[in-house]
Amino acid sequence: MSHRSSAGPADRTRRRRGGEQPMVPRAEFGSYYGKPILNPPVWAAADVGGYLFFGGLAGTSAVIAAGARLTGRPRLARLCAAGAAGAGGLSFAALIHDLGRPDRFLNMLRVLKPTSPMSVGTWLLGPFVPLAGVAAASALTGRFRGLGRLAGTGAAVLGPAVSAYTGALIANTAVPAWHDAHRDLPFVFTASSAAAAGGLGLFAPTRESAPARVLAIAGAGCEVLAFERMRHRMGLTAEPYGTGRPGRLVRAGTVLSVAGAVGAVLGRRSRVASAASGAALLAASLCTRLGIFHGGVASAEDPKYTVVPQRERLRRSAGDLP
């Protein structure tokens, strides 16, 4: 604990009016020897970062696949159905690896708790992965088409929630850079998922990829805008997203998003240019998710991001701050 003078606006106002002046300077609390107040997340970036990215990609890809099937775009439907199944499987594998044992996932299915994003997410991902797998197998082999359409529709219904819930999942923690972003993080994740899945759809022939192109461009734009709005609203706790490894990843994600969106517009008549734009958008979404993951870890390791916002909230409630 350290003591430093930090007279606030209310103190200065009292001095000007000749009122009572505090004899002891305000105390500014730090942590014990600067050690973290929170236990930083021990999750591996490959597990949880991959879980965040592949889950978002899988959910929105399932929606594109269902839409492409309904509008007569078979190659786009097959590509996105395969992408939904593959990304869903990788997301599931990353989650199991993080949990350590598969039976821990099964234990989480014993209870459905609507107020817990983890519980809801488990119940979303559990049926989504097999549904997406059946839909992809049917689309790629051409067999059991009725069952494939039914499974694809089920995956598409669950897809938007699968894409967005991970934002609420990490925001529902005490990690400052995640918790203070709880209003905007689901929007960032949803837009990032749209950009990534739209980018995957750009690998399809150009005569079928128009819906994916529109989704990719809109998703990339909304991702950049939503992230900047989130940083503006967060204030101090957004600082880790602009420094060190998180800052580099976020900046790379922004550059790749803009480049991918521009490429998707200018290269719409070329399959090679469209595919390159799609690859850039996929990489952008991955960089953004990893940047958010590492930013959260960095904010938990520095006590400043825990103490200073708490004291500002106390001073604001006392009327010392506007």
Domain boundaries, the chain: 42-171, 173-310
Supply the DSSP symbol for 235: G
Overall average pLDDT of the 10-32 stretch: 60
Confidence (pTM): 0.85
Percent pLDDT > 70 in the chain is 89
Residue 53 pLDDT class (50, 70, 90 cuts): very high
Measured CA to CA in angstroms, residue 286 lies from 57, 231, 257, 291, 294 at distances of 10, 19, 11, 8, 12
**For the chain, what's the residue count?**
322
- Tokens 């786009």 correspond to 76
Whole-Å CA distances, 39 to 126, 297, 300: 29, 9, 7
The residue whose two tokens read 């995956």 is 155
Q: Per-residue pLDDT tens for 65-100?
A: 999 999 999 999 999 999 999 999 999 999 888 888
Q: What is the per-residue pLDDT across 141-172, written as a single tens digit (0 to 9) for each? A: 989 999 999 999 999 999 999 998 888 889 98
pLDDT in the model for residue 310: 82
Dump the DSSP string for 262-278. Answer: HHHHHTTT-HHHHHHHH
What's the whole-number mean pLDDT along residues 10-24?
Answer: 58
Helix axes 145-171, 271-301, angle to 10 degrees: 30
Buried b (16+ CB within 10 A) or exposed e, 301-316: bbbbbbbbbeeeeebe
The more confidently predicted of residues 207 and 12 is: 207
Q: What percent of the chain has pLDDT over 90?
A: 61
Model confidence over 172-196: pLDDT tens digits?
888 999 999 999 999 999 999 999 9
In the predicted model, is pLDDT for residue 239 greater than 60?
yes
42-171 sits in which CATH class?
mainly alpha
pLDDT confidence of residue 5: 44
Q: Which helix (H) or strand (E) holds 165?
A: helix 145-171
